[in-house]
Amino acid sequence: MNRLKLLTRPMALSFLLSAMLLFAAACGNNTNHSGSSNQPANGSTGTGQAEGKQVSVVTSFYPLYFLASEIGGDHVKAVNLVASGVEPHDWTPKSRDLDTASKAQLFLYHGAGLEGWVDGFLKGLSKDSKVVTKEISKGIPLIEGNEDEHEEEHADEESHEHGGLDPHTWVSPKSALTLAENVKNSLIEADSANQADYEKNYEALKGKLEAIDADYTAKLAQTSNKNIVTSHQAFGYLARDYGLKQISIMGLSPDAEPRAQDLLKIAKFVKANDVKYIFFEELVSDQLAKTLAGEADVETMVLNPLEGLTPDQEKAGDTYLTLMERNLQNLVQALQ
């Protein structure tokens, strides 16, 4: 992280700066590379066929694992590289991950700058590997990293980490529909013999995503406030697709360090625009969001960036879809 830019401010600023130091320490301890990164995100794979007859699919992070599992059904043995509870921005591949992907038939990654490691990873695959790689975000109109932000200069400083693009397409049900179609087409290309089943499973999933999309459209249109203040600039696509405005404490990377003047501007924005909640996410420290909420005399609430499951969510049987539905419930409560 870059060193904090300390400025002489009132007592409220000193309070926020102290919280920033605590947050930086928490971020430094947040990276978790323990355990096997090759375990599926929800601990299950397709059943009903002999393993040798299943298509071996490796995915770069949880949303793609979920889509591949749902659409592939019993024909697919899916493995997710990022383990439960690990923030994808913090994750880097190891030699065992290269070995796993090299032996697979299909490797699905998101693209749009999310996996900064992917170019080197693909070059590191074994020379005799026959794995087919697919970038699943293709076809989604992408957002520049500084769009819908209160402070374009701050966003510009952080956007270089993702090549200037916001990669978080999957938080929006509308974008998820495109991701699902791309996963379906990739599976059909790899295993055309089971095209009918992939089409059937895709249509079932598409119906669920369309229902969630309709719910988001109807309920968010009825909210009186359209401003969401988030800890991480991960909700640009959701904001774009459903008429909201995102104000983020950090940039595109969840451990990007905010500046003191940005925090003061956000606190003033919250008070001036009747914002009742500041959103935080489970896979990174909530210290800064809570401190800012205390300064602005508002509450905090979870808005999940849908990047992965926590161990508790995994045990509870949560999925990409249930987390999307919970996000909508929280948004409606916060924006009323």
Q: Quickly state the pLDDT bin for 48 (edges 50, 70, 90).
A: very low
Q: Is pLDDT of 152 > 70?
A: no
Q: Is pLDDT of 36 > 70?
A: no
Q: Is the dihedral of CA 138, 55, 94, 129 positive or negative?
A: negative
Average pLDDT, the chain: 83
The pLDDT score that the predictor gives to residue 89 is 80
Q: Is pLDDT of 116 > 80?
A: yes
The pLDDT score that the predictor gives to residue 254 is 60
pLDDT (average), residues 275-282: 92
Please tell me whether residue 200 adopts helix, strand or coil conformation.
helix
Q: Quickly state the pLDDT bin for 14 (edges 50, 70, 90).
A: very low
Number of helical H runs and strand E runs in the chain: 12, 10
The pLDDT score that the predictor gives to residue 259 is 77
Q: With beta carbons less than 8 A apart as the criterion, state whether 41 and 80 touch.
A: yes
pLDDT (average), residues 87-108: 95
The pLDDT score that the predictor gives to residue 150 is 42
Tell me the pLDDT tens digit for each residue of 118-133: 999 999 999 999 999 9
Q: Tell the burial category of 120 from Cβ atoms under 10 Å away from its Cβ (0-12, 13-18, 19+).
A: exposed
pLDDT (average), residues 197-224: 98
Q: Is 0.95 topped by the overall pTM?
A: no
